[in-house]
Amino acid sequence: MATKPRIGLLVTGLLEDDYNKTGHVRPRMREATERIAKLLAPYGEIVNPGFVEYEPDADRATEAFNGAGVDLIIAIELAYQKGIIPMRTLLRTQAPILVWNTQQIRRLPEAADFDLIMENSGMCGLPELTSALIRSGRPFELLTSHIADPEGLKSIGEYASAAGAAHRLNAMRIGMIGHPFEGMTDLMVDYLSLRDIVGPVVWPIEPEKVAVAAVQMDAGRVKTFIRDLSSHHDASAMPADSLDRSARLALALLDVAQQGGFDALATFDQVWLTDPRVGIIPSFGTGYLCAQHIPVATEADVTTVVAMMILQELAGDVTFLENYVMDFDNEAMILSHDGHGNPALAADPKAVRIKPSIYYEGVNGWGAGLEFAYKPGDVTLLSLIPLGDGEWRLIVCEGESLPMTPRPVAAPQMLFRYTGGKIADFCDAWLSAGAPHYMALAYGQLTSTIEKLGNLMGIEVVAV
């Protein structure tokens, strides 16, 4: 689920030294620092070391930010400050930096005095700070807005969400079960480069571990799971023995993921079809894990599961899809996948059908898949692709999920309309960007945040 980011607040200004003699406004600067902390509180957990004027203050801020492991540092000069003071902190921390060029007044009134100028003179000193950051090779993002401007605050919220997602990606673990589907070129990935540039580590899981867990699953737990499942969704089409096997496999996948400390799974679903201990496709189970906020990509597709992890951090729920059929009459695209998807995003939970898969038959039959229509609303598609030589690209696109009647094809389905034009425009732009076979999807308009994520991570973003 989306986690609240930690924001380090570095508010600084020089009021009193051998030449400047405006220390009497210090109480108001401290009050302004607290005001800024309250303005930013909706966007994250604020780590506020207080107003920073001298080197000991900067050291206090450094310790606070490093101790809290902040995801983002927002640096603000309310008044001119010698660059070495904020740099004392910014060179000793590793979190991304957003330099917020802001002030408390919208204009300088005719009756202004020098104190008012001092309290709103941050732009005087910021060139010194940004120049020092550039000279030091310390990357930073930049935003200019009035302190209470809604668009500016919204942008800060997006930076905070993006920074939080980027930070957490570095701690995430993907469990790979089986191997990537043979011959799929978009699944041919350098996992060391993924770890180095993007963040998550890929760790193999033997399919045997899941099979053993399924066989040894407590019968009472399975019975309770099926009873609860049937109270939320329609499982009437499933034969009892096949539903039991599918439930066992779902719980086994859940246990293996949680016990191994995996944030997501990339599974070659066909790996158990010939194993008599399992012998079915796990489509229902992989969808169930998505609803439990453990994203799963089929075909052992690591790059798409990373895209899912990013969107889950930003939006809270995510699913896995591919292009199915163009709908020229509605200027839309049917997005789906064989029996696998996130039922938490269904238009009507009661209308989610758990039914025998029609796609892959194992030694014990078809196994359960999911069939439903996704709910209407604004959506964002996201894919991640390697470009070679350590370069990566995020491909993002916004659109709308339209109301639809699901076809009887044992698969979750969405009627997707591209925001930027006709269905032909979407296809041409999506293909030209280098998008892979599969994509992640979440609800909301997230392009702006993902562009900020790319900036913070040093990854190219192509907005379709």
DSSP character string of 180-202: PPTT-GGG---HHHIIIII--EE
Residues 229 and 99 in one domain: no
12: closest CA among 63, 45, 60, 44?
60
pLDDT at 1: 54
| In a domain? residue 200 | yes
Q: What is the CATH number of the domain that holds 121?
A: 3.40.50.10940
- Collect all residues with Cβ–Cβ distance below 8 Å to 439 and sequence separation of at least 6: 304, 307, 320, 321, 322, 335, 381, 382, 383
Beta-bridged to residue 463, according to DSSP, are 396
In the Cβ-directed half-sphere of 252, how many Cα atoms lie within 13 Å?
27
Residues 115 and 182 in one domain: no
Looking at 140, 169, 198, the residue that finishes a domain is 169
User: Which amino acid appears at position 446 of this protein?
Assistant: L
Rounded-to-integer distance, Cα 64 and Cα 48, Å: 8
Residue 151 belongs to a domain = yes
d(CA 278, CA 187): 25
Domain range enclosing 254: 173-463
Same domain, 160 and 181: no
> Are 229 and 260 members of one domain?
yes
Q: Are residues 164 and 182 in the same domain?
A: no
Q: For residue 288, give the 3-state DSSP assignment.
A: helix
Strand 368-373 relative to strand 353-356: parallel, antiparallel, unpaired?
antiparallel
Do 412 and 281 lie in one domain? The reply is: yes
Share of the chain above pLDDT 70, in %: 100
Residue with tokens 């009507």: 348
Cβ-Cβ contacts under 8 Å for 82 (sequence gap 6 or more): 14, 125, 128
Interval 377-404 mean pLDDT: 97
Return the pLDDT at 316: 93
**Residue 224 domain-assigned?**
yes
Are 11 and 70 in the same domain? Answer: yes
What is the rounded CA–CA span in Å between residue 149 and residue 37? 15
Of 220, 211, 226, 299, nearest to 256 (Cα)?
A: 211
Domain stops at, among 153, 169, 185: 169
Q: Tell me: the pLDDT tens digits for 98-154?
A: 999 999 999 988 888 888 888 888 999 999 999 999 999 999 999 999 999 999 999
Residue given tokens 């220390």 in the structure block:
23
Is residue 119 situated within a structural domain?
A: yes
Q: Which of 146, 169, 192 is the last residue of a domain?
A: 169
319 versus 110: the higher-pLDDT residue is 319
What is the residue type of 333? M
Q: Can you give the pLDDT at residue 38?
A: 97
Please tell me the predicted confidence (pLDDT) of residue 112: 86
Task: Using alpha carbons only, give the angle 436, 439, 440 rounded to the nearest 5 degrees.
Answer: 150
- Say how far apart CA 257 and CA 200 lie, in whole Å: 15
pLDDT for the residue 235: 94
Ramachandran sector of residue 411 (left: φ over 0; alpha: ψ -120 to 50; beta: rest): beta
Q: What's the confidence (pLDDT) of residue 307?
A: 98
On whether the CB atoms of residues 438 and 430 are closer than 8 A, the answer is: no
DSSP tally for the chain: helices H, then strands E: 14, 18
Taking residue 150's Cβ as centre, other Cβ atoms within 10 Å add up to 9
Say if 1 falls within a structural domain. Answer: no
β-bridge pairing 377-388 and 391-402: antiparallel
User: Over pLDDT 90: what percentage of the chain?
Assistant: 93
Domain membership of residue 94 (yes or no) is yes
CA angle 353, 359, 363 (to 5 degrees): 105
- The tokens for 292 are 């439990």
The C-alpha atoms of residue 264 and residue 242 are separated, in whole angstroms, by 25
Q: Considering its fold, how many domains does the chain have in total? A: 2
Residues 311, 442 within the same domain: yes
The reply to whether 165 falls in a domain is yes
Cα 84 to Cα 31: distance, rounded to the nearest angstrom:
24
188/148 same-domain check: no
* Pair (272, 184) in one structural domain: yes
Q: Residue 255's closest CA among 294, 229, 306, 287?
A: 294
Collapsing DSSP to helix, strand or coil, 437 comes out as coil
At 172 the three-state DSSP class reads: coil
Instruction: Please answer whether residues 135 and 113 qualify as being in contact, where contact means their C-beta atoms are separated by less than 8 angstroms.
Output: no
pLDDT of residue 17: 84
Q: Is 335 in the same domain as 186?
A: yes
- Rounded distance, CA 413 to CA 225, Å? 25
Q: Would the pTM count as exceeding 0.85?
A: yes
User: Both 128 and 178 in a single domain?
Assistant: no
229 domain-assigned: yes
CATH of the domain at 393: 3.40.275.10
